[in-house]
Amino acid sequence: MTDTASAAAATVSKSEQAYAAVKSRIVDGSYSPGYRLVLAKIAEDLGVSVVPVREAIRRLEAEGLVKFERNIGATVSGIDPTEYLYTMQTLSIVEGAATALSAPLIGEADVARARAVNAEMRECLQHFDPVRFTRLNQDFHSVLFEHCPNPHILDLVHRGWNRLASLRSSTFRFVPGRAHESVDEHEALLQLIESGSSPDDIEKAARRHRSATLDAYLAQAAANDLPTPQTTQQ
C-alpha cells in the first residue's frame, strides 16, 4: 500500500471513529437537542484532527441528527414528535404481527432468555438508567420477534427500531413511570406465548403494549405543554 493510500485509509478509520463517538453521545443524550457541536473540542476529546470530525458531522447531518444554524454552526437536532408518532404507530402494527408469527417458534430457552432480560429491567428500576433500560427493552423484544418467518415484516421491524434510535427516543427517560408498567406487560406477553395462546391474542397484546408507551409519551407531552405531533387533517 502506498503512503497516499495508507493516509487515506487512516483518515477513513478516524472518520468512522469520530462518527461512532458523536452519534453515540447524541443517542444516549450526552449531547442533547440544541447542543452546539464545536469541532475543535470534539477533535481534541477524541485525539484526532478536525478533518475526520467534520466528515462525521456531515454524515450525521445527512441522517438528520445534526443541523447547521446560521451564526451558530452545527447543533444537535431536536426530536421530531410527529416522526416519533408515526414510527411508533407503524412499529406497533409490524412488531405485533412479527411477535405473533414468531410465537409458535419460540422455545423454552428463548422464553428463559427473555425472562432473564426482563429481570434485569426490573433490577434497573431500582436505580433507574433510561438508556440502559431502553437497550434492555430492545433486547427483550428481539427475542420475541426475531423468529418471525416473514423476512419482509422482520425488515420493517428492524427499520422501525433503527428509526427510534435515530430519534434518540427513550420514552422511559421522558415518562419513567411507564417503565414499571412495561416490565409487567412483558411478563404477561411471555405467559401468553408459554400457554400457546392464539396468534390473534398475542398480536393484540403486543400492539397494546407498544401503543401504551406511545400514549404515555403523548399524555406527558400534553401535560408539560411540550411540542406534540402535527398530523395532516383531512
What is the CATH architecture of 81-223?
Up-down Bundle (1.20)
- What's the sign of the alpha-carbon dihedral 86, 84, 64, 156? negative
Residues 109-118: tens digit of each pLDDT: 999 999 999 9
Give residue-wise pLDDT tens across range 22-63.
Answer: 988 887 778 877 889 999 999 999 999 999 999 999 999 888
Please give the backbone phi and psi of residue 167, each rounded to the nearest 5 degrees, phi first. -85, 0
By DSSP bridging, strand 66-69 and strand 73-76 are antiparallel
What is the per-residue DSSP string for 17-55? HHHHHHHHHHHTTSS-TT-B--HHHHHHHHTS-HHHHHH
CATH, domain 3-76, list 1.20.1510.10, 3.40.640.10, 1.10.10.10, 3.10.150.10: 1.10.10.10
Q: Of 87, 30, 41, whose CA–CA distance to 213 is shortest?
A: 87
Rg, C-alpha atoms of the chain? 20
Which DSSP symbol is given to 177? Answer: H
**Per-chain mean pLDDT for the chain:** 88
The SS3 call for residue 164 is helix
The yes-or-no verdict on residue 200 having pLDDT over 90 is yes
Question: Region 57-84: what's the mean pLDDT?
Answer: 86
Domain locations in the chain as residue ranges = 3-76, 81-223
- Whether 3-76 shares its CATH topology with 81-223 is answered no
